[in-house]
Structure 1
Amino acid sequence: MSQLKKLASQTVLYGLSNVGAKLINYLLNPILSYALIDAAGKAANGNMALLYASITFLNIVFTYGMETAYFRFSANKEISKQTLFQTSFTSLFFSTMVMSMLLILCNTSLAQLIGVDKAVFINYAIAIVAIDTIAVIPFAKLRQQEQPLKYAFIKIGGILTTLLLTAWFVLYSPAFCKAHAQSAYAQWITPLSTTELLLLANLLGSLFTFLFLWKEWFSVRFNIDWNLWKRILTYSLPFLIIGLGGMINEVIDRIMLGKLVSADALISKTTTAIYNFNYKLAIFITLFIQAFKMAAEPFFFNQSKEKEAPLLYAKVMHWFVITLCLAFLFTALFLDVWKFYIGPTYRSGIGVVPILLAANVCLGIYYNLAVWYKVSDNLKYGVLITLIGATITLVLNYLFIPTYGMFACAWTTFICYAVMMILSYSIGQKHYPIPYAIKKISSYLILTAVLFFAQSFIAHQLDALFLKICSGLIAFALFLVYVVKQEQLHWRQLPFLKR
């Protein structure tokens, strides 16, 4: 239990700082979905959905697995921490400069490929990715040196900057520019489209992050240990394929939706925007998975040499699944409340949310299962599973989006992650057996599904929001009671309550 508490502590210290930043970022949802409701606003939201999907891909390419490799090699006491930092940072810095220049030269073609209106949008996106990439290794160094407060301050500060600037540009800047039309600010801002303003807010937020890492920049020396660099690349490059495949599974649906759902550009972007906003209602599962990934990666590597490591991994999975189920129910049972998080114009896609929540449960379990090929250096299986998932995503979306629209995207996401989860478990048990409590874990997943469908049926018969909430609370309480009974624990013995 002490190791579980250690992982929980690391999740709080390192994961939740990043999750807090992402949570603040999700506050942009109501601003954008309530304020941008005209045709131009919907087009801007559609552009941003496409650009964010593209930025996610570029982040994977630009970092090519170096963060994971940094943690892996930082656990090696024979390697100088300073040499590792300089080699990793120098590699990322120069590769970022080269890739950024090449992509900017192709910005017009990229804009047409992605489906956004202007090539300048691509320039903004590349600048954001470049700044964020250069900061990857300094942030990894902060985590490795156990400086969670500084890490959290910088991360959350950058997102707060983006949030405040977005609110200013969307809600207040138009009136200010109208009242001060001759000011330098108005003459600069007025010609910019809504999409450019949203991208500008993101770029300035990234610059804030960059500037507040100033102490780390003073320690930078552009040196490479070529032998170490080759070892790092040998380990990191498979994660480029895994990362790209993962991003295909995560974000390609929005790009394909915009391309395939309709021949009308406005309808396509509107549908993409609706799907994108409802996708974000899976926030609690998404944020928990992100927090867990940040804490678990160094934790799993540090424990990999211990004799009891497989048993520890099984215990982690056990409580991880329970938490995922709670996060699913917390969202799915109260959709009649969470729907107010997005504007009325975008609520027509609320039906995809439970499907996406279930998909993210499978994804979370897959991430936990993936420990076996990381610690046993069987990365080829990680690549294989990821490529199978990406193939499922591409084929099913291509076949069914023209007929079923955003629901095809949601069901494809669920099928993809479910298949990856099953494959990872099946292959992993042959190469790195871990004694997961399959029967008990399955019982939690089945009960979660039963409670959701039962409560959804009951809530559909009710008119009053209060009664719908009460039915959700009852279902949620039933799951908690079942967990306590199955684990034969008192409340204070639960890992997240025990002090």
Structure 2
Amino acid sequence: MAGIKQLAGQTLWYGASSIIPRLLTYILTPYLTLKLSGANYGDMTLVYAAIPFLNILYTYGLETGFFRFIQHEKHKKDLYNTASISLIITTVLFTAVLLLFTGPISRIIKVEDHPEYVTLFILIVAFDSLSTIPFAKLRQDGRPVKYALIRITGVLIYISTLYFFLSVCPSLAQKDPNSVFALLSSETLGIALVIVANLIQSVFTLIMLWQELKAIRWRFNVQQWKELMTYSLPMLVAGFGGMINETLDRLMLGWWGVPASGNIKVEIGTYGACYKLAILITVFIQAFRMGAEPFFFKQALGENPQRVYARVMKFFVIVICTMFLFVVLYLDAWKYFIQNPVFWEGLKIVPVLLLANMFLGIYYNLSVWYKITNKISAGAWITIGGALITIVINYLFIPRFGYMASAWATFFCYGSMMVACYLWGQKEYPVPYAWKKLTAYITIVVVLFYVHRLLTYLWPHMIFNYTLATVILGAFLLFVLRVEKNEFKKLPVVGRFLK
């Protein structure tokens, strides 16, 4: 239990560094859907669907490899230097090459009228990749406060710059149409100003990591680098597979979609905007991963780590089930974060995507077995299998069902990965997960969602809707507290109220 308390504390801080920036950018969703046209929002969705693929290429699994080898005494001295030098050299090379092909890349991601978007996001990825190992060092050194402050400050810079470009500049341009502000507020720039604001954020984030960058010594351990690459490169394959599962559906909508609305960019924007409503679960998963990755590796060196992993999984599933209900039961309120009513038509995909992301979070928990046993290729094969499911379902059904096909492709992809990882892991590294109980929790919240949906369909009254949602959510929490009373008693805050 002490280990779980430590993980909870780290997840809290890393959660602050993840949740607060994500919530701040989440608050931007109504602002951006108000300021950008449906087609421009579609362009933004396409651009930000392409960026993660470059992130994977630029970092090629080094972060996970860093955490894996830093646990061993013989690697601690030079590993930070070796990993940092490797990343600096490859970042310069990748950036130089990719800038030569901005035209073809813009055609691939369906923003051929604006190749400048590609130039800008290549630079964003370059600066972000240079921050990867310094951020990993902060996590490994147990400095979540500094980590959180830098992340949050970066997002505040982004929001301030974005507001200046999209609100202040147009206002100043109206006062003086011949000023430079008129150029900055020109509608012909499309989403370029959004991407420039993001680039400014990335540059300032790297500057705030100056102390960590200054600590790099130009000492390159070739043997250590070979070991690091042997472990990390399979993560590149897994990473690309993961990005296919996570973001390629937006690009596939551009390739294969038949727009019912007459504009495929509007439908892509609808999908991207409604996907944002799954943010509570995805933010928690990201925060959990940041705390859990170094935590799992450290626990592997102790006694009976499998028992700790099983307990962590139980609490994790309880939290994401609660978050699922919190979003779907109050969906009529959450939709107002999307200020363009044209996008509300896509709200039907939100429950499907929430369940898909729950499966993804469980998969990340289960994946500990192949990371600590050095069988990274297993993760690559599982992810590739999921990627194939994503591509096949989208290819077959997007022309007929549009973004609904993409939502269900995500569901079946992450669900199959979760099941495959569990079955394979139990053969290689058995962990006593309470899978029957956890399956029951997930089933219960899905049934509760449909009960709420049926009753509110029969009596579509706002007060009844929200009252019923609150009763259902409260009943689920009381049920879980009763079932897991002995476990919750051991927690530092909740336990006081249950003893």
Q: What TM-score, normalized to structure 1?
A: 0.95
Q: How far apart, CA to CA, are the structure 2 residues paired with 1:144 and 1:369?
A: 22
Aligned counterpart in structure 1 of residue 263 of structure 2, from 236, 251, 267? 267
Per-residue deviation, 1:3: 1.4
Aligned counterpart in structure 1 of residue 70 of structure 2, from 70, 74, 86? 74
The worse-fitting range, judged by mean Cα deviation, of 84-93 and 139-148 is 139-148
Per-residue deviation, 1:187: 4.2
Amino acid at match of 1:31: Y
The worse-fitting range, judged by mean Cα deviation, of 213-222 and 325-334 is 213-222
Aligned to 1:107: 102
Cα gap change, 1:353/1:79 in structure 2, threshold over 3 Å: closer, same or farther?
same
Q: How far apart, CA to CA, are the structure 2 residues paired with 1:50 and 1:315?
A: 39
Aligned counterpart in structure 2 of residue 443 of structure 1, from 440, 444, 448? 440
Amino acid at match of 2:421: S
Aligned counterpart in structure 1 of residue 466 of structure 2, from 454, 464, 469? 469
Pairwise CA RMSD: 1.8
Q: How far apart, CA to CA, are the structure 1 residues paired with 2:492 and 2:373?
A: 28
Q: How far apart, CA to CA, are the structure 2 residues paired with 1:291 and 1:399?
A: 34
Q: How far apart, CA to CA, are the structure 2 residues paired with 1:125 and 1:21?
A: 19
Aligned to 1:96: 91
Q: Give SS of 2:138's match.
A: helix
Per-residue deviation, 1:484: 1.6
Gap runs ≥5 in structure 1: none
Residue identity (%): 41
Per-residue deviation, 1:489: 4.1
Q: Does 1:312 align with 2:334?
A: no
Aligned to 1:245: 241
Q: How far apart, CA to CA, are the structure 2 residues paired with 1:182 and 1:444?
A: 62
Q: Does 1:44 align with 2:50?
A: no
Per-residue deviation, 1:494: 4.7
Cα gap change, 1:315/1:123 in structure 2, threshold over 3 Å: closer, same or farther?
same
Q: How far apart, CA to CA, are the structure 2 residues paired with 1:393 and 1:139?
A: 31
Amino acid at match of 1:361: M
Contact 2:170 2:181 in 1 (8 A): no
Amino acid at match of 1:373: Y
> Deviations along 1:139-176, whole A, 9 cap, x unmatched?
11111222222211111111111112222222332121
> Deviations along 1:53-94, whole A, 9 cap, x unmatched?
11011101100001111111111112234x111111110111
Q: Give SS of 1:4's match.
A: helix
Q: How far apart, CA to CA, are the structure 1 residues paired with 2:91 and 2:261?
A: 33
Q: Does 1:204 align with 2:200?
A: yes
Per-residue deviation, 1:10: 1.1
Q: How far apart, CA to CA, are the structure 1 residues paired with 2:486 and 2:474?
A: 16
Amino acid at match of 1:93: I
- Alignment of structure 1 residues 459-498 onto 2, 5 Å: 459-489=456-486, 493-494=490-491, 497-498=494-495
Aligned to 1:27: 27
Aligned to 2:82: 87
Aligned to 1:379: 376
Contact 1:301 1:375 in 2 (8 A): yes
The worse-fitting range, judged by mean Cα deviation, of 45-54 and 170-179 is 170-179
Aligned to 2:298: 302
Q: Give SS of 1:27's match.
A: helix
Contact 2:257 2:264 in 1 (8 A): yes
Aligned to 2:279: 283
Gap runs ≥5 in structure 2: none
The worse-fitting range, judged by mean Cα deviation, of 26-35 and 212-221 is 212-221
Q: Does 1:6 align with 2:2?
A: no
Q: Give SS of 2:191's match.
A: helix
The worse-fitting range, judged by mean Cα deviation, of 264-273 and 322-331 is 264-273
> Deviations along 1:299-355, whole A, 9 cap, x unmatched?
000011223101110111111111110011110111011111112121110000000
Amino acid at match of 1:412: A
Q: How far apart, CA to CA, are the structure 2 residues paired with 1:266 and 1:233?
A: 47
Aligned counterpart in structure 2 of residue 172 of structure 1, from 168, 171, 186? 168
